[in-house]
């Protein structure tokens, strides 16, 4: 059995892992390893725009080697289990990786089987999802070929990455059909597990106007539990009563339920009562509540913030500051306030920039700019500005 050891081991080479690694290198850390088997790094926020025909999907992908910070060891394996008492991580090739400090950011697991029939139906006869690089282009094909009938857009219950994405594509599709003059012939349905369109009233009010503008029927407190491509219908279940009904579709954009990787719970790193199996951390320090040498951020952490890249941008400096303080035996000096941002595309050329924190109140980051309304400049920030900042500054630990 091969055994190696590093001062800091980062599980996951996505947005969170690369950003933390870059910040640690800039802070002078010389023994940092990133564990991730993926050869390609994705800027996932672009997938919604690709699914709406507003951006090429290839623009979201770059070689992982091109974003890995210099001086960081890249271990191209998958973590399968951790032993936080022994400070070790088992990898899928049977090797064991020791650490002094562990940063957990392996992302989130898409449960394509969480909706019965979805895995086999994906990409066939109008069933699509923007939640993978491979399937997002099928969304645009479904939108542009739908000229009448019923379009269903659904969000699953529980935490998911970019919780606004299931709504964004619904609005972009409706705007496309409006421009094509067929919106009245396409009956748009939005299935949400939540009691409202958004958890922040100021943004929910704007989205209510968007829904009225497009004539969208919203099924609150509901979720899609099954899809039957042969019958061209989905099963919608009320979360309150358990009652179900069949909703026909011409096209259906479905989002799989999501959970933390199973090995986090199996390693004793998740909370006992957490059905999603997320790493149990203090929501402000992002340090594990039982293992002080373990930190977590991004989608796999238990902090109750929206799971977005914008949240990672605020979390990464907190993790690095508190990790470095722990090396000195000092208490955590940095705190994360739950900031997240969701640029809600409401039409081609219009975006509502929703920024909020643990208080669930607007938390604008751009002075003197009213982001509680749909704006054209926020569309260009979404389409051009944020990708530029991501590739050139955030992944280099500078933003």
| C-beta separation of 75 from 37 below 8 A | no
| Given the residues 54, 105, 128, 162, the one annotated as active site | 162
Among 168, 220, 179, 174, CA closest to 50: 168
User: 342 catalytic, yes or no?
Assistant: yes
d(CA 68, CA 81): 23
**Separation CA 241–CA 171 (nearest Å):** 28
Q: DSSP 3-state assignment of 180?
A: helix
State the Cα–Cα distance between residues 130 and 395, nearest whole angstrom: 23
d(CA 247, CA 243): 13
The whole-angstrom separation of Cα 399 and Cα 392 is 9
343 alpha carbon, distance to own chain's centre: 13
Written in H, E and C, the secondary structure of 126-156 is CEECCCCCCCHHHHHHHHHHCCCEEEEEECC
162 part of the active site: yes
Taking residue 317's Cβ as centre, other Cβ atoms within 10 Å add up to: 15
Q: Which residues are part of the catalytic machinery?
A: 162, 342
């Amino acid at each position: 059995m091969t055994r190696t050891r590093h001062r800091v081991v980062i599980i996951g080479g996505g947005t969170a892992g690369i950003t933390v690694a870059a910040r640690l290198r800039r802070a002078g850390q010389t023994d940092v390893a990133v564990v991730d088997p993926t050869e390609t790094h994705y800027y996932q926020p672009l997938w919604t725009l690709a699914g709406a025909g507003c951006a090429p999907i290839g623009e979201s992908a770059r070689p992982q080697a091109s974003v890995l910070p210099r001086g960081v060891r890249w271990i191209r394996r998958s973590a399968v289990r951790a032993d936080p008492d022994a400070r070790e991580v088992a990898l899928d090739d049977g090797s064991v990786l020791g650490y002094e400090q562990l940063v957990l950011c392996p992302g989130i697991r898409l449960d394509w089987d969480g909706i019965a029939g979805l895995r086999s139906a994906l990409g066939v006869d109008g069933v699509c999802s923007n939640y993978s690089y491979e399937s997002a282009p099928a969304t645009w094909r479904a939108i542009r070929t739908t000229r009448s009938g019923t379009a269903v857009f659904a969000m699953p219950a529980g935490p998911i990455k970019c919780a606004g994405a299931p709504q964004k594509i619904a609005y972009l599709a409706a705007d496309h059909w409006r421009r094509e003059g067929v919106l009245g012939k396409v009956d748009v349905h939005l299935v949400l597990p939540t009691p409202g369109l958004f958890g922040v009233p100021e943004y929910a009010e704007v989205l209510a106007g968007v829904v009225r503008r497009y004539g969208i029927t919203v099924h609150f407190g509901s979720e899609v539990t099954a899809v039957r491509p042969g019958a061209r219908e989905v099963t919608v279940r009320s979360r309150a009563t358990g009652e179900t009904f069949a909703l026909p579709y011409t096209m259906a954009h479905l989002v799989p339920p999501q959970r933390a990787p199973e090995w986090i719970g199996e390693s004793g790193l998740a909370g006992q009562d957490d059905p999603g199996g997320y790493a149990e951390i203090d929501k402000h320090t992002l340090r594990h509540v039982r293992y002080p040498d373990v930190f977590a951020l991004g989608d796999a952490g238990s902090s109750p913030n929206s799971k977005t890249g914008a949240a990672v941008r605020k979390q990464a400096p907190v993790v690095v500051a508190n990790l470095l303080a722990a090396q000195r035996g000092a208490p955590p000096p940095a705190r994360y306030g739950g900031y997240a941002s969701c640029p809600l595309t409401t039409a081609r050329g219009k975006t509502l920039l929703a920024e909020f924190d643990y208080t669930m109140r607007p938390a604008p980051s751009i002075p003197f700019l009213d982001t509680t309304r749909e704006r054209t400049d926020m569309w260009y920030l979404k389409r051009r500005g944020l990708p530029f900042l991501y590739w050139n500054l955030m992944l280099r630990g500078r933003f």
